[in-house]
Amino acid sequence: MDFKWKEYELEDFRKKLEITNSLNSIFWNDINQKAVNAKKLITPDFFYTVEMQSFLIRNNVLHYSCNFMPYTNDEILNKALMAIGAQFNIQAGRFGYMIFDFWLRISYLQYVIETFEAPDKLETVLKFLEFTSLNENDDLTKSISLAHAYCMKKYSNLYKFHYKTTPGSIIIKGYPEFHNLDKLFTMMFHGTQNEYLQETVFVSVYKILAAVRDLLFYMETDEHGDIIDENEMDSICLLLNKLCQYKFYNEPSDYINLGINEYKMIQSGNDEYVFADFEDEKVMEFATRLFEWKNNFRDKNINVSAQLLQRIFTRFYFSVNNLDMTRKYENLGDKMNAYIVALLNAVLIENAIEGNLSSMDLSSTGDIVRIFKDNLQKYLARKKNESILCNLYEWISQCPVFRIFLNPYIVDIIDNKQIEVNWQLYNYEIDKRKAKRINDEIDNINSIIKIIKEAIEWATNDSDSENTLYYNEYKYNKNIFEIFINKKMDKEDFIERKMELYDKLSFFNNELSLKTTLKNEIQERFRVMYAKFVKDDFKRSDMTTYNVLRSIEIEEPLYEH
């Protein structure tokens, strides 16, 4: 695919390209010494990040030179890195899809390889690329899905526990009922199947990034420019419908190293392609918003660099890693919202740092949504008073794909709509669900306490009884406990078992006290904090849709070896 500058192209980009070409001419010999195909690294190309990736791997610097800064001990390599980075920067400033291309082909590759803990990094990278085609001129949604299939196999060999995933990925419990979901929500789902035909359903923030890249790539590299006609809109709707199909991908076996993908169409439930009507009103409206968002990239005159993008992805990656390790999320809606917020927060922080806004909270641990909300308020205050503008954040935060996975209250906060009011409403929704869960736990604890007291009374009763055994089983916090005591046991065993019952009674009385205190704290927040924001009959239609995602349970990742 040829890279061509169109007549309507901004003159500023032409000038920057001329400067970059001059830089490449100066450092041509350095690039030529370090690259297999140096000409591709001095020429604008729609798949330029593939060549950048190849350059890093060939020179064995993927793990520390992804930012293309001249910080190595090799002077020739330093000059080549600087020239290649400059060439990328000019192209990424013109095409928004290259931002996501860079994150997935280079930044993601670097970090996912590190999770394998392999002694031979180069061999591991090459095997990974061979399976995933992440180094080919191909759609990235397919490559990222194959990457998860590869990781599932790799992790099953390295780790003793199930549910180990790449940070930023979620395993779904069971098989989602896709017909209950908004069609656009299914964009984030895909699956893997091992050699025993066992299927695992995934949701991945990287799949969403890949979908954004593929949509932008299609819109930015076609020949229609900035004006979209009816046929072009149908083509975008077709691509959207393809992205919204649920697909599962075979994990590599020990004998075959090929990534063969199978398909399950959510509309039909069989192995045939069944696409929705292209004129579906919601899909058509979404496609229109995507096209408008794509055009806004050039309007904002965004400066992009490999160094900035690498810093953003690094901050984002460690944020989602910390989110996974907290294990505080039990449903898909809240977890995916946190992932997307982590990305927006990383973009905002690094973009603000470049604008000398130094008051940002740089934490990657803790409540990421609160951290983002506080950082956003600091940025908006400076933007209002000092005309500071984080163009990259402003553009990415309006991405239509990201916004469908965000909590609607967070969307309003991003749009600077009554931030404090929407923040309270966001927390109200969380506390409302937490209160229900605590009430259910209190009922469960009371039932357990009743059973334990009955067992103690039965064991303490000295009267003759035909019953020689008292047994009951109950579940608390996903653990199965049992009460077992037998009057025919040895006396010492009987006394020991009886003391265990008193210990359990003490434990659950303490749990009841803690849960009751927590319940009272939430009720106090309802009474004092939320009273002025929330009415008893308060409802929000877009929360009804979002709550479908909250109804999907997820598995907690395990990181132990």
Q: Same domain for 410 and 426?
A: no
Q: How many CB atoms lie under 10 A from the CB of residue 217?
A: 21
* Residue 149 lies inside a defined structural domain of this protein: no
Q: Same domain for 470 and 385?
A: no
Tens digits of residue pLDDT in 284-319: 888 889 989 998 887 777 889 999 999 999 999 999
**Residue that wins the pLDDT comparison between 444 and 257:** 444
Last residue of a domain, one of 417, 444, 468: 417
- Round the CA-based radius of gyration of the chain to a whole number and report it: 28
How far apart, in whole angstroms, are the C-alpha atoms of residue 347 and residue 370? Answer: 16
Last residue of a domain, one of 76, 94, 112: 94
pTM over 0.95: no
Q: Same domain for 404 and 426?
A: no
Nearest to 41 by CA among 75, 86, 78: 86
Residue 459, pLDDT above cutoff 90: no
* pLDDT band at residue 4 under the 50/70/90 scheme: low
* Residue 118 lies inside a defined structural domain of this protein: no
DSSP calls for 109-161? HHHHHHTT--S-HHHHHHHHHHHH-TTSSS-HHHHHHHHHHHHHHHHHHH-SS
Tens digits of residue pLDDT in 373-413: 999 999 998 887 776 788 999 999 999 999 999 999 999 99
**Residue that wins the pLDDT comparison between 439 and 231:** 439
* pLDDT band at residue 67 under the 50/70/90 scheme: very high
The parent domain of residue 66 ranges over: 1-94
* Residue 34 lies inside a defined structural domain of this protein: yes
Q: Same domain for 372 and 454?
A: no
Q: Same domain for 385 and 453?
A: no
How far apart, in whole angstroms, are the C-alpha atoms of residue 145 and residue 124? Answer: 18
* Residue 494 lies inside a defined structural domain of this protein: yes
* pLDDT band at residue 88 under the 50/70/90 scheme: very high
Residue 220, pLDDT above cutoff 60: yes
* Residue 283 lies inside a defined structural domain of this protein: no
Q: Please check whether residue 335 is in contact with residue 170, taking contact to mean a CB–CB distance below 8 angstroms.
A: yes
Q: What is the mean pLDDT of residues 474-485?
A: 74
Residue 487, domain CATH: 1.10.287
* pLDDT band at residue 547 under the 50/70/90 scheme: confident
Percent over 90 (pLDDT), the chain:
37
Q: Same domain for 501 and 520?
A: yes
Q: Same domain for 468 and 485?
A: yes
Phi-psi region of 87 (alpha: psi -120 to 50; beta: other; left: phi over 0): alpha
* Total domains, the chain: 3
17-26, 226-235, 263-272, 512-521: segment of lowest average pLDDT = 263-272
Q: Same domain for 391 and 453?
A: no
Residue 160, pLDDT above cutoff 60: no
Last residue of a domain, one of 361, 389, 417: 417
pLDDT value for 10: 55
Percent over 70 (pLDDT), the chain:
83
pLDDT value for 183: 80
